[in-house]
Chain A
Amino acid sequence: MKDYKYIGKDVIRIDALEKISGAAIYGDDIDFGANLLYAELVQSTQAHAIIKSINTSEAQKVKGVYKVFTGKDFPYKFGLYMKDRYIFAQDKVRFVGEQIAAVIAYSPGAAKRGAELVKVEYEALPAVLNQMDALADNATLLHPDLADYPHVPWFFPKPGTNVAHWRKTRKGNLEQGFAQADYILEDTYTVPRYAHCAIETHVAIGKFDHSGRLTVWSSSQSPHTQRHLFAEALGLSHKDVRVIAPHVGGGFGGKAGVTMEIIPAALATKLKGYAVKLRYSREQEFINTYQRLGVVARIKMGVTKDGSITALDHKIYWDAGAYVEYGANVVNAVGLSAIGPYRIDNVSIDSVCVYTNLPPGGAYRGFGYSEMLFGLESHVTRIANELKLDQVEFRRRNAIKEGDLTAYGAKMNPNGLVECIDRVQAAIAWGKKPVSTDPNKLIGQGFSLFWKAPAMPPNASSSAFLKFNEDATINLIISGMDIGQGYQTVMAQIAAEILSIPPSKIRVETPDTDRNPYEWQTVASHITWSSGNAVKKAAIDAREQIFALITRVYHYPIDELYLEDEAVKCNTDSAFILPLKDFVVDGIMTSDGTFKGGPINARGMFMPEFSSTNGDPETSQGGHPNVHYTVGAAALNLEIDKETGKMRVLKAALAIDAGKALNPDLVRGQITGGLLQGLATVLYEDMRYDANGKLLNPNFTDYKIPTAMDVPDEIIPIIVEVPQPDGPFGARGIGEHTMLPAAPMIANAVEDATGIRIKSMPVTAEKVAMAILAKKG
């Protein structure tokens, strides 16, 4: 393998000093001076109701309240993949917490007092609070005018029902596949909703100045997508909308697309000259951004007695909430990929996106694959156990390999899945689980595979500008967001490698859509791959400009030139060493005193031109909707207290095929962080709703996220590198994937230890203790 200077090295993060010294600026840290107004929302107390009237007169009287706006001021719909969402509720509310009005005041306190005084009169409608009820024949419809909603061509809504999208994937002959099977297992698995819980809540500030230009400062993973949706919804030209995205205090998918940011953007257009700020409280953050979708999955799998999977029928019903403009694509993504990382010839997948009167579902780290894999990887373990086969061997035997066909008929990319299995098996000492010295404790082992592809439109693109400064330092101008994963550093490493400039001499700022080139969004774990390709091209463009200039001035052939240690050198003339700082801005002086060259400014762009979504609507065969999959394996040793059910992860190993780990320590950081986030979803997190659709635990006291006390005793991160042919230096994304195997491996370990199979998440201590008690009889 080629020896790189910066690629594959544990380069120190270029945003470290900012973030560790307190200098980093987040959305709420920006000062706007005396012309700042504060917005507070009036939110629905009903899950489904007609709005009879809104009385704002008392609110208007509060000292410090400036104005009150309602839905009639903003009769606009918006949405990323389907326009089904409103800036403010129009005639109807569809979930508890939906924004109905905004009170604008000179102080946050006055806005809040005003919002409490807005009176809304409702006429209640029947509410559908889970997806199975919503699918019933006589179910109340959330969107009777679904037929009129604009959407991307690869969505298939069913007007007259609550089905917003139905992704069907069919391959081979299902009946024949089950006929070949010696054993068939069929069961149902359920997964509740989850919250992202970034420590920074959403904040956005809109300003519409007297020249008619809208600027929005937004804590966002998606500045360009936001600009596009703001322009579309508010009827503005893209050139007159500017989104500035400062540092983001955690995203996890929750700050992807557009949720609350459109509110201050829209409000600003009616508050000319002012800046208007909306900062969510923790409670609002839980209720009205996106939530992870809930799932009911019915799995039927057939296998031969020697352990080959012959058929899979996977039906997944998603509780997608009141608006699915982003969430329907979660459903779509999993509907293409619900075979898991397995080679299966006969497949039927139905992934059904169902409207419910709960908050909108949307992107959450893993994009539906966590939910899907809980059922599938539980099921695989059970089948292997039933057949008395080792479950790891069973997985290895059926693991998808390069060139195998995916469920939609495209070829699987090169991957190191089997190597991941082998290395995890060795790291965890599979089959040799420790025995507790405490008679009250049981220990179980759990295993799981995982895979995930970026879910993106086929024309999702990235671009990069690169400019040299006088001292040959670089400003790399890109529009992905460093939401913590280390994007800025890795992009700097890519440019550094091509241009022989240390990453510490490259500055990457957070984006401003006026100045930074287009990026689709920082989602889908595609940014290292896609933006990385754009940055690499920009760096190569800069290098080509440099070499062309050197050739023009010094007449060395271009193919004899190379860059090393911040200088241009020549293969055939070792005496020629021209430091970049001598000419990258000022040019090169020639013998007659004139200068040649000038500032080196470069650009790069990447769009996956091979991708398409034109598969058959009834089978999904024919297109190439997913650019590639990232795969991996994980296992753990779990200690369980027989009386309390309390669980402790003694050791966990997770192997992921990064293609090429551009910065291995950042990859390891994703493993330790993602794994804990995944473990929390299975061990204790859970959004609880009451019978009226009200969230019962919208705070960190009642919705527990992991603390320092909840960390596994030992985590073994394993990096596998089977290069991605079209990735920058072979890299592919790994960020979301690290949380995917957590839930099934816990359920599998619980069964290994206790003989009890738990088929609904979360697998809490309480649930385990009660099951142990029930088993005792």
Chain B
Amino acid sequence: MKEINLTLNNESRSVLVEPNEILLDVLRDKLGVKSPKCGCERGDCGACTVLLDGQAVRSCLILAVEAEGHSITTVEGISADKLSALQEAFIQFNSFQCGYCAPGIILAVTELLEKHPKPTLEQIKESIAGNLCRCTGYTPIFNAIMSLTKEEK
């Protein structure tokens, strides 16, 4: 066991981890953050996406010890005070159904919008190409994101 220190949703946390523990399990089982979901445990589905220093990563492919000293953001973190404009748009456009992939997709798009506030449809598709959604057919997700880019005009 090793103690690691990280920032989780803007709060400093310390936690004892095994060297082979993945960040996803530590977030869920030891730090009580449940929005990153397990879907495949091999980086295929994107349900476990979190932001690591603002960059969307698969928490099932990262060892918890690698998070030492870094800042992790989950969807709980961006929902703390009020929902983001992106989350509001997801609600307006029914951009989720079962909801299991939604936290991961919201984080992937959060990163996209930080880098490209007015993304093209192709950029949107690319940004979530690694996040599988079996319910929506993705179109309502595109529509939600495109609505944000229009408002800014």
- A-to-B contact residues, CB < 8 Å: 12-13, 15-22, 24-26, 28-29, 196-201, 247-252, 279, 281-282, 483-486, 665-666, 669, 672-677, 699-701, 705-709, 711, 715
Cβ contacts under 8 Å, B126 to chain A: 708-709
Q: What are 17 inter-chain pairs, A to B, with CB distance below 8 A?
A: A16-B90, A16-B96, A20-B106, A22-B74, A200-B39, A249-B37, A249-B98, A249-B99, A282-B45, A486-B97, A665-B94, A666-B94, A672-B140, A673-B135, A700-B44, A701-B42, A706-B137
Cross-chain contact A199 with B97 (CB below 8 angstroms): no
Task: A676 to B131: give the CA distance in the assembly, Å.
Answer: 15
Bound Cα distance A250, B124 (Å):
23
Given contacts A199-B45, A201-B39, A281-B41, contact A669 B136 (CB under 8 A): yes
A700 lies within 8 A of B40 (CB): yes
**Is B87 in contact with A199, judged by CB distance below 8 angstroms?**
no
Task: Known contacts A19-B102, A22-B75, A197-B134; decide if A700 and B45 are in contact (CB<8 Å).
Answer: yes
Q: Do A707 and B41 touch across chains, with their CB atoms under 8 A apart?
A: no
Partner of A248, one of B44, B98, B103, B137: B98
Using Cβ atoms and an 8 Å threshold, which residues of chain B touch A711? 125, 137-139, 142
Selected contact of A200 from candidates B96, B97, B98, B106, CB within 8 Å: B98
Compute how far the CA of A653 lies from the CA of B40 in the bound complex, rounded to whole angstroms. 33
- In the assembled complex, B65 has its CB within 8 A of some CB on chain A: no
> Which residue from chain A places its CB closest to the CB of B82 in the assembled complex?
A21
Cβ-defined partner of A250 (8 Å) among B79, B100, B138, B140: B100
Contact call A483/B139, Cβ cutoff below 8 A: no
What's the nearest-Cβ distance from chain A to residue B24, in Å?
11
A665 to chain B, nearest CB (A): 5
A197 to B44, CA, bound (A): 12
Complex formed: what's the CA distance from A709 to B44 in Å?
15
In the assembled complex, the Cα of A707 lies from the Cα of B130 at a distance in Å of: 7
Cβ of A673 and Cβ of B45 under 8 Å apart?
no
Nearest first, the 10 closest Cβ-Cβ pairs linking A and B are A484-B97, A249-B100, A19-B99, A22-B35, A484-B98, A700-B44, A672-B137, A676-B137, A22-B75, A21-B79
Known interface pairs A22-B103, A247-B98, A708-B125; 5 further A-B residue pairs with C-beta atoms within 8 A, sorted by A's residue number = A199-B134, A282-B40, A673-B134, A677-B137, A705-B132
Contact yes or no, B39 A25, CB < 8 A: no
Assembled-state Cα–Cα distance A6/B110 (Å): 33
Contact B37 A199 (CB under 8 A): yes
Asked, given contacts A199-B47, A200-B37, A709-B129, whether A15 binds B137 with beta carbons under 8 Å apart, the answer is no
Alpha-carbon gap, A254 to B51, bound state (A): 31
Q: Mark B104-140, 1 if CB is under 8 A from A, else 0.
A: 0010000000000000000011101111111111111
Chain B residues with Cβ below 8 Å from A250 are 97-98, 100, 134-135
A21-B75 contact in complex given A199-B47, A669-B94, A700-B132, C-beta closer than 8 Å = yes
The answer for the CA separation of A673 and B136 in the assembled complex, in Å, is: 4
Distance from A748 Cβ to chain B, minimum over Cβ atoms (Å): 21
Q: Collect the chain B residues with CB atoms within 8 Å of residue A251's CB.
A: 98
B6 CB-CB contact with A under 8 Å: no
Interface residue from A22, A200, A248 paired with B34 (Cβ < 8 Å): A22
Expressed in whole angstroms, the Cα–Cα distance for A742 and B118 within the complex equals 33
Q: Classify the interface of chain B: helix, strand, loop or mixed.
A: loop
**Min distance, Cβ A481 to any Cβ of chain B, angstroms:** 10
The reply to whether B99 and A15 contact each other, CB–CB distance below 8 Å, is yes
Task: Say whether B61 faces chain A, with CB atoms less than 8 Å apart.
Answer: no
Q: How far is the CA of A361 from the CA of B35 in the complex (A)?
A: 32
Residues of A close to B42: CB separation below 8 A = 282, 699-701
CA distance A522 to B137 in the complex (A): 21
| CB closest residue in chain B, given A18 | B99
Q: B91 contacts A247, CB within 8 Å?
A: no
Does the CB pair A22–B79 fall under 8 Å? yes
Q: Are B100 and A199 in contact (CB under 8 A)?
A: yes
- On whether the beta carbons of B140 and A669 are closer than 8 Å, the reply is yes
| Cβ–Cβ contact A672 & B139, under 8 A | yes
**B83 on the A face (CB < 8 A):** yes
Contact partners of A196 in chain B: CB under 8 A: 134
Query: Which residues of chain A are near B37, meaning CB under 8 Å?
Result: 26, 28, 199-200, 249
Contact A19 B34 (CB under 8 A): no
B80, closest chain A residue (CB):
A21
Closest to A676 in B: B137
Which residues from B are CB-within-8-Å of A200? 37, 39, 47, 98, 100
B44–A701 touching, CB < 8 Å? yes
* B26 close to A (CB within 8 Å): no
The answer to whether B136 touches A21 (Cβ under 8 A) is: no
Nearest residue, chain B, Cβ from A279: B38
Q: Which of B57-92 contact A (CB under 8 A)?
A: 74-76, 79, 83, 87, 90-92
Contact status B125-A709, CB under 8 Å: yes
Contacts of A279 in B (CB 8 A): 38
Closest B residue to A282 using CB positions: B40
Q: How far is the CA of A708 from the CA of B41 in the complex (A)?
A: 20
Chain B, residue nearest A281 (CB): B41
**A22 contacts across to B, CB distance below 8 A:** 34-35, 74-76, 79, 103
Q: A707: nearest residue on chain B (CB-CB)?
A: B129
Report if B101 contacts A (CB, 8 A): yes
Q: Which residues of B contact A673 (CB under 8 A)?
A: 97, 134-137
> CA separation between A707 and B128, bound complex, in Å?
8
Q: How far is the CA of A576 from the CA of B147 in the complex (A)?
A: 45
Q: Is the CB of A199 within 8 A of B79?
A: no
* Cα of A249 to Cα of B45 in the assembled complex, Å: 13
Q: Is B56 an interface residue (CB 8 A)?
A: no
Q: Does B141 contact A (CB under 8 A)?
A: yes
Contact check, A677 vs B138: say whether CB atoms are below 8 A apart: no
Q: Chain B nearest CB: distance from A330 CB in Å?
A: 20
Question: Nearest chain B CB to A709's CB is how many angstroms away?
Answer: 5
Partner of B91, one of A20, A485, A676: A20
Cα–Cα, bound, A282→B79 (Å): 29
Q: Are A24 and B83 in contact (CB under 8 A)?
A: no
Q: Smallest distance from the beta carbon of B151 to chain A beta carbons, Å?
A: 18
Q: Chain B residues with Cβ under 8 A from A677's Cβ?
A: 134, 137
**In the docked arrangement, what's the CA distance between A659 and B125, Å?**
34
With a CB–CB cut-off of 8 A, which chain A residues contact B44? 282, 699-701
Tell me the bound Cα distance from A24 to B47 in angstroms. Answer: 14
Measured CB to CB, the nearest residue on chain A to B34 is A29
Instruction: Tell me if A17 and B39 are in contact (CB < 8 A).
Output: no
Task: Give the distance to chain B from A715, nearest Cβ to Cβ, in Å.
Answer: 6
Q: Tell me the bound Cα distance from A715 to B140 in angstroms.
A: 11
Check A715–B135 contact: CB distance below 8 A: no
CB contacts (< 8 Å) of B133 on chain A: these are 199
Determine which of A21, A282, A676 lies in contact with B87 in the assembled complex, contact meaning CB atoms within 8 Å: A21
Which of B38, B126, B136: most chain A CB closer than 10 A?
B38
What CA separation (Å) do A252 and B133 show in the bound complex?
13
With CB as the reference atom, state the residue of chain B lying closest to A666.
Answer: B94
Shortest C-beta distance, A605 to chain B (Å), equals 28
Taking the nearest CB of chain B, how far is it from the CB of A246, in angstroms? 11
Chain A residues whose CB sits within 8 angstroms of the CB of B94 once the complex forms:
13, 486, 665-666, 669
Chain B, Cβ-Cβ closest to A665: B94
**Cα distance A674–B140 when bound, in Å?**
13
CA distance A119 to B98 in the complex (A): 39
How near does chain B come to A669, taking the closest CB pair, in angstroms?
A: 5
Looking at the assembled complex, report how far the CB atom of A647 sits from the nearest CB atom of chain B, in whole angstroms.
17
Which residues from A are CB-within-8-Å of B140?
Answer: 669, 672
